[in-house]
Copies of this chain bind each other. A is one copy, B any other.
Amino acid sequence: MGLIVQKFGGSSVANAERVMNVARIVTDTYAQGNDVVVVVSAQGDTTDDLIEKAKEINPDASKREMDMLLASGEQISIALLAMAIEKLGYRACSLLGWQAGFSTNSVYGSARIKKVNTERISLELSKKNIVVVAGFQGLNKYDDLTTLGRGGSDTSAVAIAAAMHADRCQIYTDVDGVYTADPRKVKKAVKLNEITYDEMLELATLGAQVLNNRSVEMAKKYNVVIEVLSSLERKPGTFVKETVKMEKMLVRGATKDSNVARISIIGVPNVPGIAYKIFGKLASKNINIDIILQSVGRNDTKDITFTTSKDNAKLAVEVLQELEVLSNLKIEVDAETVTKVSIVGAGMETHPGVAAKMFEALFENDINIQMISTSEIKISVLIDSKDADKAVEAVHDAFIPDEK
């Protein structure tokens, strides 16, 4: 007996049959004696369809109006899910983001939750209702609708769980948990029983799209235990929490990120402050930099190479070309053929030899490493995209015990 927050994404409620399936999961949880708050996203492709409708009329529509438009998607799915719950003989009450007490800042399209006033949710729970809340949306100080950006429903669910001190926040997806690698690509990938917030954050940042990063950050901040599990199969998923039992696995996951561009500036004069000028300028344009490599070039110059996301590559080059100190220098861009492959594991900082083992696995598969980056809980390498899947499998199998 406790309070459980459950979140279902768009594909879990894509049609009538799936909505009924979700209703069965929710009512089973309720029937076991729990209070249940369910957070849902818009059905299937609804959000994309709405964006398409908007573009047809005005591709440069204001973000306020886009949020007004998009917030209708969850309104449909909460009403339908509440009806499905009623159909199964239980009481339900759907609540829009603002009714559920979500106050956000005013950054339309990617608003941040400021507060969740859970009074209404508590009232409905006290009336023995299963409460169905629209994810992804809130209200700003002008009483205008805002949306939290893609994946925001995860954050909505964690925010409610945090505000109400829920016993658990279950995030239902179309996979049955967090795997050591993408199970569609890596045969020996295994499901993790537990993973720490930090490991989950690294995996999400590195391309594993199970959980929205902001939601994991919030869960970490408020110590909300998340369980990632499948809406299609009834079996335990993966718990995301502060500390996990020591398992035999040092490395918790191997993953790749193809949204990478490599930019090189060749023959940078070897004078002080040049790195500051380059990266300060990029930062001022909100261009996030990942790996940085500086190597000795010819004639007392150096070559500076860094990676950023693909969509930032063009802007980054333009920004660099405006810098007087770099005028006449050659700037090379590769936004097509590079991929970042990473391993993540909270224990690796205390275990020497992890990096060496990773590089060995790559070497044995004839994979050339272009750049290397390390943090306390991850090691990333930049390689040719054609080798990416092979590389992930190779490093995965080097670290993860074969359980199959």
Contact = CB atoms under 8 A, between A and B. Distances in A.
B66 A86 contact: no
Interface in A173-193: none
Contacts of A19: 57
Given A16-B53, A72-B72, A99-B143, A58 B79 contact: no
Interface in A52-91: 53-54, 56-58, 60-62, 64-66, 68-69, 71-72, 75-76, 78-80, 82-84, 86-87
B86 A65 contact: yes
A69 B75 contact: yes
A58 B83 contact: yes
A142 to B, nearest CB: 9
Nearest to A145: B96
A57 B92 CA distance: 14
Contacts of A143: 99, 120
Contacts of A72: 72, 75-76, 79
A76 B70 CA distance: 8
A57 B76 contact: no
A61 B76 contact: no
A189 B61 CA distance: 44
B53 A65 contact: no
Interface in A36-52: 50
Interface in A95-142: 96, 99, 120
Contacts of A238: none
Nearest to A80: B57
B82 A75 contact: no
Contact of A65 (B57, B61, B83): B83
B79 A20 contact: no
B61 A86 contact: yes
A99 B68 CA distance: 12
Nearest to A144: B99
Contacts of A54: 79-80, 83
Contacts of A99: 143-144
A342 interface: no
A94 interface: yes
A144 B124 CA distance: 12
Q: Which of A80, A86, A93, A143 has the most CB of B within 10 A?
A: A80
Given A16-B56, A53-B76, A56-B16, A83 B62 contact: yes
A351 to B, nearest CB: 52
B62 A86 contact: yes
A20 B16 CA distance: 33
A35 B20 CA distance: 47
A84 B53 CA distance: 11
Nearest to A68: B79
B61 A83 contact: yes
A143 B80 CA distance: 19
B56 A82 contact: no
B76 A69 contact: yes
Contact of A58 (B50, B69, B76, B86): B86
Interface string A331-347: 00000000000000000
Contacts of A53: 16, 76, 80
Nearest to A76: B72
Cβ-closest 3 pairs across A and B = A69-B79, A61-B83, A58-B87
Interface of A: 16, 19-20, 50, 53-54, 56-58, 60-62, 64-66, 68-69, 71-72, 75-76, 78-80, 82-84, 86-87, 92-94, 96, 99, 120, 143-145
25 contacts: A50-B76, A54-B79, A54-B80, A54-B83, A57-B83, A57-B84, A58-B83, A58-B84, A60-B86, A60-B87, A61-B86, A61-B87, A62-B82, A62-B83, A65-B79, A65-B82, A68-B75, A68-B79, A69-B75, A69-B76, A69-B79, A72-B75, A72-B76, A72-B79, A99-B143
